[in-house]
Structure 1
Amino acid sequence: MTEATGSPAVRTEERDGVFVITIDRPQARNAVDGATARALAAAIDELDSRDDLLVGILTGSAGVFSAGMDLKAFARGDTPVIEGRGFGGITRAEIKTPLIAAVEGYALGGGTEMALACDMIVAARNATFGQTEVHYGIVPPEGGMVRLPERIPHNIAIELLLTGDPLPAERAEQLGLVNHLTEPGEALTRALELAHRVARNAPLAIAAVKRVVDERTAFRDTDALRDQDQYVEPVLTSLDAKEGARAFAEKRSPHWQGR
């Protein structure tokens, strides 16, 4: 095990061939701003560039995975989306190394989308997923509308996307979204156990499985994400999107105009 390194917003740590990437903005419930997205992208690049790192784990500090986009930063014009790599530098990236999400507490909005971009999800019973974007006048363009209906039943997915309702971890596990359910505080420990079960296998075999499975689905995801953008852009640049962010920052109910 090596000492944690990284930026103030993202810590990384090596544990016997497993690379743990921790979003560390507890004051913002690990919401992602531009600087955090760039730090996450750099961590993923390190994971993929090193032959001695066989599995990655994405998690959050202080008992929270990620509350998604930092809406206060968004209201100031800051974006957590990196060109060609998506939200947090993860959701549209071509990640070569198997990646596990270890989820405690909230994984909302972009937090859910980052978890969906991982190959496997381990979640504590107190974890909550949710594509809450419709509450703020926006939509989940970084995998929520594309990946969620492929991971759980379509009718359940569209209900969650249209209502913005939360998805408790126990229900997510029943629906097949979560691989393993743990007691609170144990998601990272279980994710490490799973990661080491993967990492003890032959590196070429691991790489081949990951590549074949990704190539079976990634092109379809890439096409769908690109195709959806024509519908998403007018929403993200609308007056309602700006109003949603302002209302969140000002702790009030939004006033929608439908434009």
Structure 2
Amino acid sequence: MQQTKPQAGVDNNTREQTVHVTGTGGVRVITITRPKKRNAIDRPTAIALAAAFDAFDADDSASVAILTGAGGYFSAGADLVSVAAGEIPVLEGRGFAGITRRPPTKPVIAAVEGYAYAGGFELALACDLIVASSAAAFALPEVKRGLIAAGGGLLRLPDRLPYHIAMELALLGEPIAAPRLAELGLINRVTDPGKALDAALELAGKIQLNGPVALKTAKRIISESRFAASEERFAIQEEIVAPLRSGPEAREGALAFVERRDPAWMTPVRDDTAV
């Protein structure tokens, strides 16, 4: 597969590119390359992912993209060390990692190995198909850190899973294995460990044989008809989440992660005037 120019994200610790794009024919493979951080997303990586998907959308020779991660991980979500330092990997109008609120207009397949946790799970949910290793696991553990899965996870899961399974993911914060989620219809293909990208490439190869305008149109119809009010839902969610994101519980959760300890939650102040 011919490699194209890496995107602009740079890991501040290793000075290495954090997003690489390869491509052949009508398929582009966009890889998050921060394996030592389990491909957690910091702000430079979010900017690089947004740029990579913008370039994919603008490239008339590309019909379908695959999003994957290096080193046996998909993504562990936001880099909480950078979040604790005040660098939020959310781009205005585009959401977490630059794509969860405004995904590309062309089809995207998530190829998942290892962890797809928190924002990593939300990245997979922003894709149109999901291929996962049988050893992969998916989780929204934000509540364990006093945070909310505001990158589309809590908005998209109820549309794609039974209510009680969506609530289990949202309230327990514990992982569910790929085979179980495939049974529930969330995952398109389950592969042997290490084979998710191969299976995604096979799917992408079949998709890219179809009419490029028809592909974009089909995706648009399904997306806009099913999630016609998605932008409004994101706006409503932001009003609800904003106070928590800047509040003491979220700060304590991120700090506890950095200090490798359990969070010390404050007891909420009771409103005795409430009926």
Tell me which residue corresponds to 1:3. 3
State the identity %.
Answer: 47
CA distance 1:77–1:258, shift in 2 (3 Å): farther
- Which amino acid in 1 is paired with 2:93? G
More helix by share: 1
1:83 is aligned to 2:92: yes
1:96 is aligned to 2:96: no
1:16 is aligned to 2:16: no
Match of 2:197 among 154, 166, 188: 188
1:249 is aligned to 2:258: yes
Aligned 8 A contact 2:72 2:113 in 1: yes
Tell me which residue corresponds to 2:80. 71
SS at match of 1:5: coil
Which structure has the larger Rg?
2
Question: For 1:115 and 1:231, how far apart are their aligned partners in 2?
Answer: 24
1:210 shift after superposition: 1.3
1:62 is aligned to 2:62: no
Question: For 1:205 and 1:56, how far apart are their aligned partners in 2?
Answer: 16
Tell me which residue corresponds to 2:207. 198
1:179 is aligned to 2:179: no
Question: For 1:178 and 1:124, how far apart are their aligned partners in 2?
Answer: 10
1:4 shift after superposition: 4.5
Tell me which residue corresponds to 2:241. 232
Question: For 2:138 and 2:206, how far apart are their aligned partners in 1?
Answer: 26
Tell me which residue corresponds to 2:231. 222
Aligned 8 A contact 1:108 1:132 in 2: yes
Match of 2:161 among 129, 149, 152: 152
Question: For 2:152 and 2:78, how far apart are their aligned partners in 1?
Answer: 14
Tell me which residue corresponds to 1:47. 56
1:106 shift after superposition: 0.2
CA distance 1:74–1:83, shift in 2 (3 Å): same
Supply the RMSD in Å over aligned alpha carbons: 1.1
Match of 1:127 among 119, 129, 136: 136
Question: For 1:68 and 1:136, how far apart are their aligned partners in 2?
Answer: 13
1:5 shift after superposition: 2.9
**Structure 1 residues 114-157: Cα deviation after superposition (integer angstroms, max 9, x where no partner):** 10000010000011100000000001011111001111101110
1:212 is aligned to 2:218: no
Q: Point out where structure 1 has 5 or more consecutive residues left out of the alignment.
A: none
Q: Point out where structure 2 has 5 or more consecutive residues left out of the alignment.
A: 8-16, 269-275
1:200 shift after superposition: 0.5
Match of 1:137 among 133, 139, 146: 146
Tell me which residue corresponds to 2:271. none
TM-score in terms of structure 2 length: 0.92
SS at match of 1:92: coil
- Which of structure 1's runs of 4+ aligned residues deviate more than 6 A? none
Question: For 1:94 and 1:125, how far apart are their aligned partners in 2?
Answer: 26
Aligned 8 A contact 1:240 1:258 in 2: no
Aligned 8 A contact 2:103 2:127 in 1: no
Question: For 1:34 and 1:24, how far apart are their aligned partners in 2?
Answer: 14
Question: For 2:228 and 2:242, how far apart are their aligned partners in 1?
Answer: 21
Tell me which residue corresponds to 1:115. 124
1:70 shift after superposition: 0.3
SS at match of 1:59: strand
Aligned 8 A contact 1:147 1:221 in 2: no
Question: For 1:81 and 1:168, how far apart are their aligned partners in 2?
Answer: 27
Larger deviation, residues 7-16 vs 129-138 = 7-16
Question: For 1:184 and 1:4, how far apart are their aligned partners in 2?
Answer: 27
